[in-house]
Amino acid sequence: MSTSIAIVGVPVDLGAGRRGVDMGPSAVRYAGLKNRLMRLGHPVRDAGNISVPGLDELPLPDANEKLRYLEPIASMCRTLAKITRGCMVQGEFPLVIGGDHSYAIGSVSGVAAALAPKREKLGLIWLDAHADFNTAETTPSGNIHGMSLAALCGHGHKSLTRVIDDLDPAVDEHNCVIIGARDLDDGERRLLRQFGVHVFTMHDLDRRGMADVMTDALLFAGNGTHGIHLSLDLDSLDPAEAPGVGTPVPGGLTYREAHLACEMAFQHGSLVSMDLVECNPILDQHNKTAQLGVELICSALGQSIY
C-alpha cells in the first residue's frame, strides 16, 4: 500500500554537545531519500527544512547551564509540532529528518496533538543507545537532546513538555519503549523505573534477539493506542555500522537487527510517523551513515528483501 509521505528537515544541533548534526538533513537527502521512497510507490512531498538559528547566531550559554539553548529549542519544537500535526490532518505520514534528538519533542507532540481531538493516543518506540530521559535536575551535560523522551512523557521544563495545544504529556510512559539502550545516566535509571517506561537494553537483545524484543515493543507501544511513532537515533547502531553520529557507543545494533526492527514496525501496520535523528556528516565516512539511514527508513516504509 502506498502512503503519502511528507519529508520535513530539521537542521538543528542546539541540543547536542558536538557540531555538525545540523547538516544531517542535507546528507540524508543527498543519499537519495525521496527517490528511494518514490520507487516503493509512495507519493512524496519534500516540505524542506524548518528555520532553526545556528549556534553562531546565539550567545554562548553559561558553563553550568542545565537547559542549554532552551528558548530556541522550545521555539523550534513549537514550529515543528504545528507542521507534523498539519501533515497528519492532511493524511500524510510525517517523516522528520535531522538534526539532534531534541526536535523529537516537537515532531512527536504534533502527531499526538492530531490524534487528541478523537481521544486517541500515540505509542512511541525509541531506538537509541541512550534513554534521553534526563531533566534539568538529573542532566550531567545540560544538553536537551538527552531530555527529549522525558519531556514527551511530561517530565521537565514546561517549555518542553507543553509545546502544542497544552498537550502535556504528549505520550503515556506505559506506551513508550526504548530499544538498544547501553549508556544510561544514574538519574535516568531512577526516573525510568519510577515512571514505568519499558526499556530493552543490549543485554536483553543479546539474550532474546531482536524479533522477540520488537514483538513485545509493538505490543506495549500499541496497547490502547491509535498508532505508533518510530524515533530512530542512528547511534542505536554499532559505530562500525554508523560512524557518523555525535555520541557513538560501542556494542550497538547490527545492520540486520536495525533492519529487522524497521521491517517489523512496517509489518505491524500501526506506524503513523517517524524520525531519523543524529546523522552527523562531519564525523561520517563517505556518507555511509546517511545512506544507512535511508535504507532503514525504506524498511520501515515497506521495502523487503523478497
Query: Which residue in the list 235, 241, 263, 284 is annotated as catalytic?
Result: 235
157 catalytic? Reply is no
Given 100, 172, 278, 295, which residue is catalytic? 278
d(CA 28, CA 83): 20
235 is a catalytic site residue: yes
From CA 131, how far away is CA 181, in angstroms rounded?
Answer: 6
Catalytic one of 92, 132, 183, 257: 132
Q: How far is CA 152 from CA 6, 107, 159, 272, in A?
A: 22, 10, 11, 17
Q: Can you tell me the distance from the alpha carbon of 104 to that of 274, in angstroms, rounded to the nearest whole number? A: 9
Pick the catalytic residue from 92, 100, 130, 259. 130
Does the active-site annotation cover 130? yes
The grid coordinates listed for 131 are: 534513554
Tell me which of 145, 155, 198, 259 is the catalytic residue.
145
Q: Which of 183, 233, 284, 295 is catalytic?
A: 233
Contacts of 276 (CB under 8 A, 6+ apart): 28, 95, 96, 97, 98, 232, 234, 293, 296, 297
Of 13, 92, 128, 238, the active-site residue reads 128
Which one of 22, 92, 101, 229 is the catalytic residue? Answer: 101
Question: Is 128 noted as a catalytic residue in this protein?
Answer: yes
Active site residue 284: no
Q: For strand 93-98 and strand 271-277, is the pairing parallel, antiparallel, or unpaired?
A: parallel
174 noted as active-site residue: no
Supply the residues annotated as catalytic: 101, 128, 130, 132, 145, 233, 235, 278
